[in-house]
Amino acid sequence: MTDVSYHEFDKLDAEQRAALLRRSETDLSGVIEKVKPIIEAVWAEGDAALVRFARELDKADLSAGGLKATEAEFDAAFDQVEDSVVEAIKFGIDNIRRFHEEQKPEAMWLKEMRPGAYAGDRFTPIRSVALYIPRGKGAFPSVTMMTAVPAVVAGVPELAIATPPAPDGSVDAATLVAARLAGVETVYKCGGAQAVAAVAYGTETVKPALKIVGPGSPWVVAAKRLLAGVIDPGLPAGPSEAVIFADDTVCGGLAALDLLVEAEHGPDSSAWLVTHSRRVAEEALAALPDHWAEMTEQRVAFSKAVLTGRYGGVLLTPSVEESYRFVNDYAPEHLEILSTDPFAHLSHITEAAEILMGPHTPVSIANFGLGPNAVLPTSRWARTFGPLSVTDFVKRSSIGYVTASAYPEFAGHARTLARYEGFSSHERAVSDVRDTYLRGER
């Protein structure tokens, strides 16, 4: 028997049902107050503040001159990382690059709207982007792959990684390997809210960027919100979350196995098994102790904190329709459809950032290099945001071109609407005044 949170949906009142949708970042008011002085210090003190916060918050020994990874550190990383890990990184990068190359929009398109009048779009890379790579609960070369590859494919000329340092002042070696293999050679040793402030304002070492992307703790999320007027905060990606949707065709032990994948990230993560099969729910609850017995102590602690708390557990619904409804209301970051016929369920689910189909597609495979991006919107933002993509690293300009032969028709309609809206300069710009300039009479 476990202490895992277990709910029967039809026995919950409206308030209890609403509580199931909450995440650790739902209310950031307390965190925001703690983040404000950090941001102010970085703005005022630059590198000195980053060194101080590295010591106080990351317990890392750094000097102002050591805030940027050196070429020697990059070189040494390849000696420190096992060959099998390097090969796994290469495999993932190759798949991620292939996927995002297919996703890349054409540089420009123009279509003739009417005879002699053309309109279209042009896509150009954002000039500078910072990639945030978390570290507090583990090392994440996979996040480096997911953020750096689409940025390089998009052609961003100035790319830099910000990641928390280890206590000895180093950067995770596999992260450096992934960065170099993806095509990024600038890595700053700073994390949390101070990293967001550093890439927003710039310091003596850190160059300011126009945008920051990548997942992070509630502190990172809070800093992005506070600095949204200074730097584009990118899609809202906070602590990990997953819903495992399972029907009666799968084993509950398998559902429990996958439930633990995102739960083990940390106590601020969210993870729910949603099923309308009592058998699956009971089998999952029974299997969890066996899975925990094979996990490391830290990951057991993290996942138990999630599954026995407010942000995770097992939810038994009275019908498959109620399961669909809960998933769409929850709008998860990661969604697995565990079924021998996953496509039968797909059309019923519209609110999920990532949908992984069938028993052979666990979140693990997607996180480490299936191809689609695993940096995803959290906290119900999947209702309006999609996964990180090449398009997050480019901006779109509209293109218009009207020929002399097409001009009179467009000018006539523009004059009519300008006059109606009361804009006299708009009207004059397409009046006979323009015609005299075009004929060279003025």
DSSP 8-state code for residue 393: G
List of residues 6+ apart from 148 with CB closer than 8 A: 131, 159, 161, 178, 179, 182, 183, 184
Helices (H), ranges, 227-277: 252-263
Look at residues 156, 152, 161, 158 and name the one whose alpha carbon lies nearest to residue 134.
161
| Number of other CB atoms surrounding residue 15 within 10 Å | 7
User: Strands 117-125 and 108-114, how do they pair?
Assistant: antiparallel
CB 288 within 8 A of CB 2: yes
Tokens of 415: 């004059």
| Number of other CB atoms surrounding residue 311 within 10 Å | 23
Q: Which value, in Å, is the radius of gyration of the alpha carbons in the chain?
A: 26
Question: Is residue 101 annotated as a catalytic residue, yes or no?
Answer: no
Helix (H/G/I), strand (E/B), else coil: 211 = strand
Question: Is residue 82 annotated as a catalytic residue, yes or no?
Answer: no
241, 262, 283, 333: which one is catalytic? 333
Angle, nearest 10°, between helix axes 173-182 and 141-154?
A: 20
Sheet of 211-213: strands edge to edge? Answer: 187-189, 158-163, 128-132, 211-213
7, 265, 276, 334: which one is catalytic? 334
- For residues 413-424, one letter each, b for 16 or more C-beta atoms within 10 angstroms of the residue's C-beta and e for the rest, the string is ebbeebeeeeee
Catalytic positions, written as ranges = 333-334
